[in-house]
């Protein structure tokens, strides 16, 4: 059973309820939430990747459901609203023509403005902004047909799962995040190849959704995405030998020799090329070259390639993550840059989309010491047991 079928089956009651709610709320009870940068507050542009911003989008969708409104969301320059939509095919992009379908009476509309500085989301000092101050302000405007919220400044860096789990049963929590992250453009080559074309009958990974559902998705973060755009623009020389040494030091001499199917995503185009060339059963989507691979402050082409990986990884049977070691500074010359070999697993499940409806899916963090490099950590999925697994609920 593919992820899409499993979602429709396991989340059938949630899908039916949400479909009915949105049909009743659209053009009658709307809520627009636009989260914008603010140089005055120290946020000159979007400074966070999808691992931070997409969970916030899911939290905002949960807020919309609590106040019984059709949700339109825009967060910084993420372009989430151009890539994702509701599972019923509707968009949550705040288009002007969509807004015109609501009332034109000013007394039935209201605009709310908020500013969040860097300390607003410190949980030891303040209540949660989204589920506290923002929720109450929207509830106070319950008689309005259309509520527009503009928040300028910092976004809360809190994972979506604790919030949804606190308000919803485990299965409902996963269904809620999945319902609002339906890819709108299934014809995109990467999505068509892995999920939405063919019958998935091929035996190996890359044979379609059915084979992907048996594969392991690996997220290998190297730190390449954090390089200066100016440095990347100078052009980077390919060095397969250097990449091989990096993989051997981080993962061991032959980490994927078991032949198990894998889908790999990484911020390093060179690492993906190396692994795909060496291991026929380890496949990946191509990343753009000579440009930053971060999912923020970049073009939609680069962002959407990241979101493709996110969706595809979410359909795999398992997800394993090797986080990078934190770099002390980004100003080091390349020759002095500390080795970003994964060293620990401090991260919670990084993307809410990865809490899939597939009951067998989970997240394992790469923490087993690598025998080839004592003292380092191993990003291999072939030779270790996971150090933790995402909660089943």
User: Residues 332-358: pLDDT tens digits?
Assistant: 333 333 333 333 222 233 333 333 333
Q: What is the pLDDT of residue 83?
A: 95
Q: What is the pLDDT of residue 373?
A: 32
The residues, ordered by sequence, that sit 6+ positions from 176 with a Cβ below 8 Å of its Cβ are 14, 58, 61, 62, 65, 164, 168
- Domain co-membership, 79 together with 131: yes
374 occurs within a structural domain: no
In whole angstroms, give the CA distance from residue 352 to residue 331. Answer: 31
Average pLDDT taken over every residue of the chain: 74
Do residues 200 and 209 touch, judged by C-beta distance below 8 A?
A: yes
Print the domain residue range for 289. 186-365
The residues, ordered by sequence, that sit 6+ positions from 10 with a Cβ below 8 Å of its Cβ are 171, 175, 357, 359
- Domain co-membership, 104 together with 161: yes
CB atoms within 10 A of CB 187: 10
- Domain co-membership, 199 together with 114: no
* Domain's final residue, options 158, 182, 206: 182
Q: Rounded mean pLDDT of 362-373?
A: 32
- Domain co-membership, 155 together with 119: yes
Q: Rounded mean pLDDT of 86-110?
A: 92
- Domain co-membership, 106 together with 227: no
pLDDT band at 85 (very low <50, low <70, confident <90, very high): very high
DSSP state of 154: P
389 occurs within a structural domain: no
pLDDT at 104 over 60: yes
pLDDT band at 31 (very low <50, low <70, confident <90, very high): very high
pLDDT at 258 over 60: yes
pLDDT at 204 over 80: no
In terms of DSSP H, where are the helices of 88-145? 96-99, 135-139
Indicate the pTM of the whole model. 0.76
129 occurs within a structural domain: yes
Q: What is the pLDDT of residue 87?
A: 95
At 262-310, the pLDDT tens digits run 888 888 888 888 888 889 888 888 776 666 677 777 788 888 988 998 8
- Domain co-membership, 78 together with 208: no
pLDDT band at 106 (very low <50, low <70, confident <90, very high): confident
378 occurs within a structural domain: no
Q: What is the pLDDT of residue 347?
A: 28
pLDDT at 152 over 90: yes
- Domain co-membership, 103 together with 227: no
- Domain co-membership, 148 together with 247: no
Sheet holding 146-153, edge to edge: 70-75, 30-36, 146-153, 109-116
- Domain co-membership, 173 together with 210: no
- Domain co-membership, 153 together with 260: no
Q: What is the pLDDT of residue 171?
A: 53
In whole angstroms, give the CA distance from residue 289 to residue 276. Answer: 16
Q: What is the pLDDT of residue 170?
A: 52
Instruction: Output the CA torsion sign for 329, 236, 283, 2.
Output: positive
Do residues 198 and 207 touch, judged by C-beta distance below 8 A?
A: yes
- Domain co-membership, 353 together with 204: yes
370 occurs within a structural domain: no
Q: What is the pLDDT of residue 111?
A: 95
Residue with tokens 């902004």: 129
384 occurs within a structural domain: no
Lowest mean pLDDT among 181-195, 245-259, 286-300, 333-347: 333-347
245 occurs within a structural domain: yes
Domains contained in the chain, number: 2
- Domain co-membership, 201 together with 345: yes
Closest Cα partner for 361 from 320, 316, 321? 316
Give 343 or 26, the one with higher predicted confidence: 26
Helix (H, G, I), strand (E, B) or coil at 390: coil
* Domain's final residue, options 162, 182, 202: 182
380 occurs within a structural domain: no
């Amino acid at each position: 059973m593919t992820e899409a079928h499993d979602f429709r089956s396991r989340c059938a009651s949630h899908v039916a309820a949400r479909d009915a709610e949105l049909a009743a709320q659209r053009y009658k009870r709307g809520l627009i939430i636009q989260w914008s940068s603010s140089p005055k507050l120290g946020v000159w542009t979007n400074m966070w990747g999808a691992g931070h911003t997409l969970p916030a989008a899911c939290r905002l969708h949960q807020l919309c459901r609590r106040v019984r409104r059709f949700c339109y969301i825009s967060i910084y320059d993420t372009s989430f609203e151009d890539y994702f939509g509701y599972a019923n095919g509707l968009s949550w992009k705040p288009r002007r023509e969509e807004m015109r379908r609501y009332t034109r009476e000013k007394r039935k509309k209201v605009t709310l403005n908020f500013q969040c500085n860097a300390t607003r989301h410190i949980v030891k000092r303040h209540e949660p902004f989204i589920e506290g101050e923002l929720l109450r302000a929207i509830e106070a405007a319950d008689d309005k047909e259309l509520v527009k919220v503009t928040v300028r400044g910092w976004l809360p860096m809190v994972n979506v799962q604790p919030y949804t789990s606190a308000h919803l049963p485990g299965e409902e929590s996963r269904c809620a995040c999945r319902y609002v992250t339906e890819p709108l453009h299934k014809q995109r080559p990467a999505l068509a190849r892995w999920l939405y074309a063919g019958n998935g009958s091929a035996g190996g990974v890359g044979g379609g959704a059915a084979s992907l559902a048996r594969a392991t998705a690996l997220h290998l973060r190297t730190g390449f995405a954090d390089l200066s755009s100016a440095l990347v623009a100078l052009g980077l020389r390919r060095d397969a030998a250097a990449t091989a040494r990096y993989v051997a030091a981080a993962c061991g001499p032959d980490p994927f020799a078991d032949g198990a199917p894998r889908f790999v995503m990484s911020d390093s185009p060179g690492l993906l090329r190396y692994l795909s060339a060496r291991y026929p059963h380890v496949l990946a989507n191509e990343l753009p070259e000579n440009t930053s691979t971060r999912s923020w402050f970049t073009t939609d082409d680069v962002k959407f390639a990241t979101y493709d990986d996110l969706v595809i990884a979410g359909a795999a049977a398992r997800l394993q993550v090797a986080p990078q070691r934190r770099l002390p500074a980004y100003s080091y010359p390349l020759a002095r840059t500390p080795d970003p070999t994964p060293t620990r697993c401090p991260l919670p499940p990084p993307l809410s989309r990865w809490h899939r409806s597939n009951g067998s899916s989970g997240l394992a963090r790469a923490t087993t010491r690598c025998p080839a490099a004592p003292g380092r950590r191993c990003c291999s999925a072939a030779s270790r047991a996971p150090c933790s697994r995402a909660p089943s609920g």
